[in-house]
Each structure stands twice: as structure tokens, then as C-alpha cells.
């Protein structure tokens, strides 16, 4: 069975009816059983599994705005954490200030879990699955397994905003091309956290100029609102704070899974190494974005979005483990296309098999292969495991595009083998 998106043929197909039917029939039971171990551990080990420190940073940023304090000159919460988002984001976070921390944590946890399910819904919908009860139940069934992808789990654990931004981007970009306001949510997402700005370039390169213009206007509007209401903070942020990666954390921290983190851990972060990283980032960015554009033009729209999103995390100077939530639609794409070996490989690499807690330096725990200490040079692989996944996705995309090229070539034009 071939799925279509916006009237175009795609390579992905729904999973075989026996698998899908089972998931739909027992969706709520599957969700409960898969999440139960985490909920039990949460009761036993509450601090480790319900830290949610980041949502407290968001709330503190909102308090700073209300109280007229400088957003970017001092820590906003105990523990040395700075506010690293845009002034526009800080304005939005003022909505969190009336809530008690306990209530806020519960709401954010429920919202992030719903975000995983909604991301699954949008991903499957983009692959041609009809709207309706079955799609909803299938998304519920997949929510549990998708939660155990480490970026999704850590987003819930930290109370992060990544899943919300993922949903905004998917919701905006899987719609039929040419809709009047398509792209606006891309701009708003970029106005909250800068990395989604790569999708403005993606829209331009895929020929969706109106949507790209809407996205750019949305981004400019968020910047303008920030300057209008928080001029001093906006000047500080856009005047250089937004590129100060040292405010985020140590670039050599294994939880930084970007190319910059890999370079810094391997050879250091002196000026010559930074220049090497810049060249590598430009190369990988061009490859990732170029293949994403080709995938879109060949009708593999979700694959293009996933590769573009992963590329943004690769080339950014700092990409925490929880930034890689594009693994969620990637898993949905592999499930829908019955790429069972690749899906199993994704979980082998990204499931939190390894847990280090507490850390000797007093920091929060590390979850996943990257948390293992160095071992005879093998850390070049397992401490950069998300980069490995990115390279596998690049290879998979080349394979998909190669097959689609062969299918599009008339028989008389193919060479005799």
C-alpha cells in the first residue's frame, strides 16, 4: 500500500494490518504497560525522575520579566543556570508565574506526554493515514514506546519545551502547501528557540516562498515584540548573548551531542579546532539540508522534515541530548514504512540503557550510551551516538532517493545489467 502526501506518491507504507490492528485494539493497555515502569520508579526515586529543572528556569525567567530584573546577567535559579531563551520566550513564560511549582510540574509532564502522542499523530497523518478513531488510538499506543526514546524521556524529565516546538513545526509544515498562514508557526518557534530557523531556509529551498515569507515575518514579529516590551534585555540578547554557548554548559559534556561537542571532546576547543568544526558544520549542514530538500521534492515529505530537524541539532554549537526530539517522527516513519531493523537499531542506540546517577561532580544524571566513561578510543563512537544516528539517517535517505530515482527512470533509459 502506498501512502500519499499532498497528492504525491511516497515510499512509506503503513505497517501490516496485524501489527496496526493489535496496537489499535489494545492501545490504552499498551500505553499503561509501557509507561508503568517509569511511573513506579518515579514513586520510588522521585527526585531523579521528576527533576523538571528547566521548567523552573522558564518560570523564573517569567518572574524576572515581571520584576524588571536583567534576564541575562545573572543566574535565574539556584545551581548556576542562566536563562538562555529569547526575550519573546521570557514574555510567554510570564504565564507560568502564578502556578505553584508542584502544579506546574504535573501540567508540564502531562503536556509533554500529550506532545509525544500528538507528534505521532501528525507524523502518521503526514504519511497518509486517514484521520479518525484508528489514527488516534494508534498514536496512543505508540506514545509509550516513543517515550522511551531518550530525547523524549529527558524532555519529560527536565520539563523541557522541545516537544512543544516539535509539534508546532510538524503542525505547520505537514499541511497542504499553499495555505495562507503556513510558515507562521515556524517563525514563532524560531522566535522562542533559534534552532527552528533552519526551516525558513528549508522552505525557501523547497520552493515554498510564501510559507518562507510568513515564517520570516513571524520571527521578525517575535523579535519586534521583544524589543518593544523588553528593550534592554533584547539588546543584550541579540547583541551577542545568543551566541554565548558557554552560558549553556561545558561544550565537552557528553550530553552535548552536536558536532561541536564531538570535536571538543576529541581534540579540544582551541581556535584552530573551532575553525575545523565550522568547516565540518558547513559540510554536514549542506549535506543534510540538501538531502532533506531532495527528499521533499521526491515526495518523502516527513523524511525531509526529520532530516532537516536533525541537521539543525548537528550543526548547532550546543545540542543537549533532549534537543534531538526529531527521533520521535523518525521512529514513526520507520514504523509506518515497516523498517523493523532500522527501528530496532534506533532503539538500540537511543534507549537509555545506561544510567549514571548520582554524578561525582554533583550534576544531574546522564542517561544513554554517551554517559559511559572513555574506553580505549571507543568513546569516539558511543559518546557521539546521536551523530552516528544522524549519519545512518543520511545513508537511509540516500538509499530511499536512489530507489525513487530508479523507479522514476523509464525502462528503456536504464542501462542493461
Q: How confident is the model at residue 411 (pLDDT cuts 50, 70, 90)?
A: very low
Closest CA to 265 of 280, 246, 250, 247: 250
Q: Give the C-alpha separation, 190 to 107, whole Å.
A: 24
Calculate the alpha carbon distances from 367 to 49, 149, 262, 312, 320 in Å: 11, 11, 17, 22, 12
Closest CA to 292 of 205, 210, 197, 211: 205
Q: How confident is the model at residue 52 (pLDDT cuts 50, 70, 90)?
A: confident
- Taking residues 291-304, report their average pLDDT: 96
Tell whether the model's pLDDT for residue 332 goes beyond 50: yes
Min mean pLDDT across 8-22, 137-151, 234-248, 379-393 is at 8-22
Q: Given this model, what pLDDT does residue 209 score?
A: 96
Q: How confident is the model at residue 254 (pLDDT cuts 50, 70, 90)?
A: confident
Calculate the alpha carbon distances from 191 to 241, 400, 406 in Å: 15, 33, 41
Q: How confident is the model at residue 80 (pLDDT cuts 50, 70, 90)?
A: confident
Q: What is the pTM of this model?
A: 0.89
Q: Name the residue ranges covered by the structural domains of the chain.
A: 14-403
Tell whether the model's pLDDT for residue 270 goes beyond 50: yes
Q: How confident is the model at residue 356 (pLDDT cuts 50, 70, 90)?
A: low
Torsion sign across C-alpha atoms 56, 50, 142, 332: positive
Q: Given this model, what pLDDT does residue 406 score?
A: 66
3-class state of residue 377 by DSSP? coil
Q: Given this model, what pLDDT does residue 361 score?
A: 47
Amino acid at each position: 500500500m502506498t501512502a500519499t502526501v499532498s497528492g504525491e506518491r511516497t515510499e512509506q507504507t503503513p505497517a501490516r494490518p496485524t501489527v496496526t490492528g493489535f496496537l489499535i485494539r489494545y492501545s490504552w493497555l499498551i500505553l499503561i504497560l509501557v509507561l508503568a515502569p517509569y511511573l513506579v520508579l518515579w514513586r520510588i526515586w522521585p527526585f531523579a525522575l521528576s527533576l523538571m529543572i528547566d521548567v523552573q528556569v522558564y518560570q523564573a525567567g517569567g518572574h524576572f520579566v515581571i520584576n524588571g530584573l536583567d534576564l541575562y546577567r545573572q543566574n535565574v535559579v539556584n545551581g548556576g543556570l542562566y536563562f538562555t531563551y529569547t526575550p519573546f520566550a521570557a514574555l510567554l513564560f510570564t504565564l507560568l508565574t502564578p502556578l505553584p511549582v508542584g502544579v506546574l510540574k504535573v501540567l508540564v509532564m502531562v503536556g509533554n506526554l500529550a506532545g509525544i502522542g500528538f507528534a505521532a499523530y501528525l507524523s502518521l497523518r503526514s504519511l497518509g493515514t486517514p484521520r479518525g478513531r484508528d489514527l488516534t488510538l494508534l498514536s496512543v499506543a505508540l506514545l509509550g514506546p516513543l517515550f522511551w526514546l531518550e530525547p523524549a524521556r529527558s524532555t519529560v524529565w527536565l520539563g523541557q519545551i522541545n516537544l512543544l516546538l516539535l509539534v508546532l513545526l510538524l503542525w505547520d509544515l505537514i499541511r497542504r502547501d499553499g495555505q495562507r498562514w503556513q510558515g507562521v508557526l515556524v517563525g514563532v518557534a524560531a522566535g522562542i528557540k533559534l534552532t527552528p530557523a533552519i526551516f525558513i531556509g528549508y522552505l525557501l529551498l523547497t520552493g515554498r516562498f510564501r510559507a518562507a515569507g510568513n515564517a520570516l515575518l513571524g520571527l521578525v514579529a517575535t523579535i519586534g515584540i521583544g524589543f518593544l516590551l523588553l528593550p534592554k534585555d533584547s539588546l543584550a540578547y541579540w547583541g551577542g548573548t545568543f551566541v554565548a554557548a558557554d552560558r549553556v554548559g561545558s561544550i565537552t559534556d557528553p550530553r552535548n551531542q552536536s558536532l561541536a561537542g564531538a570535536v571538543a571532546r576529541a581534540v579540544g576547543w582551541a581556535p584552530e579546532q573551532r575553525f575545523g568544526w565550522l568547516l565540518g558544520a558547513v559540510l554536514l549542514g549542506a549535506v543534510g539540508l540538501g538531502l532533506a530538500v531532495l527528499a521533499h521534492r521526491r515526495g518523502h515529505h516527513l523524511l525531509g522534515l526529520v532530516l532537516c530537524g536533525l541537521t539543525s541539532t548537528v550543526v548547532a554549537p550546543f545540542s543537549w541530548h533532549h534537543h534531538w526530539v526529531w527521533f520521535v517522527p523518525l521512529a514513526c516513519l520507520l514504523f509506518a514504512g515497516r523498517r523493523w531493523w532500522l527501528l530496532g537499531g534506533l532503539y538500540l542506540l537511543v534507549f537509555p540503557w545506561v544510567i549514571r546517577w548520582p554524578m561525582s561532580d554533583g550534576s544531574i544524571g546522564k542517561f544513554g550510551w554517551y554517559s559511559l566513561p572513555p574506553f580505549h578510543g571507543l568513546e569516539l563512537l558511543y559518546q557521539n551516538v546521536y551523530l552516528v544516528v544522524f549519519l545512518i539517517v543520511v545513508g537511509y535517505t540516500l538509499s530511499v532517493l536512489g530507489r525513487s530515482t530508479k523507479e522514476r527512470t523509464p525502462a528503456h533509459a536504464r542501462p542493461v545489467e
